Amino acid sequence: MKKIISFLFAAALLVGAAPVTQAQNNTPLTAKQAEANQLLQRIVGNWQVSRYEKQHNSKELKLAKGNTKFTKGLEGDYVHELSKIKNTDGSSVEGESFIRYSETMKRYEHVQVDKNGKSIVVMVGKWSPKYNALTFRPLTGEGQWSSKVDPNMQCVYLFKDDGSFIRVTRTLDQQGNFTILSQDHYSNSSVASL
């Protein structure tokens, strides 16, 4: 079922990107498209991941390790992520996502299949060069596929000078302060594999 959902969503993603891709083949990239391609290229590759995830009813973050592979899509207009994280109890969590820049909508788009492959979370975001951060928020309303998405959730990619990056998933607590749900630290490794 997860493969079918992933395939259908990838197809929808590609259909949405087709006019942009076609235009790219006939005309030079805009400055924004060139910046987006350069940014997405920074995450392409095999990565070792250290995930720190908040435990229920606790402020403690639990460590899990694994691998993630980001690859460029057919025409290079999106990035596809496959991850496998092994928990300390021996179980593993597999995930999948797609990230692209939509020239038409002037935004980044992130689609994530949940851990069980039963729902799809659609997020939109923007790049902040000042903070070296790509921040996504859930799409609200008609475009959201999952009804259980926290509207205050943010997924922030923070790019470091050494070429590695961190993905922080956070939400607002009852006092209106951000609280971290998980942190994924990506270290580039030629030996990382899925």
pLDDT tops 70 at residue 81: yes
Q: Note the Cα 162 to chain centre separation in Å.
A: 20
Give the CATH number of domain 2-188: 2.40.128.20
Q: What is the distance between the alpha carbons of residues 89 and 30, in angstroms, rounded to a whole number?
A: 48
Tokens 């996504």, located at residue: 136
* 16 has pLDDT over 60: no
Give the pLDDT score at 77.
84
Q: What local confidence, expressed as pLDDT, does residue 22 receive? A: 44
- pTM for the whole thing? 0.81
- Do the Cβ atoms of 78 and 98 come closer than 8 Å? yes
DSSP 86-138: E-TTS-EEEEEEEEEEETTTTEEEEEEE-TTSS-EEEEEEEEETTTTEEEEEE
What's the distance, CA 156 to chain centroid? 9
Q: Are 146 and 114 in contact (CB under 8 A)?
A: yes
Q: Which residue, 121, 27, 118, is CA-closest to 110?
A: 121
Report the pLDDT value the prediction gives residue 114, as an integer from 0 to 100.
64
In this prediction, residue 63 has a pLDDT band, given cuts at 50, 70 and 90, of very high
Residue-averaged pLDDT of the chain: 82
- Cβ–Cβ < 8 Å for 71, 35: no
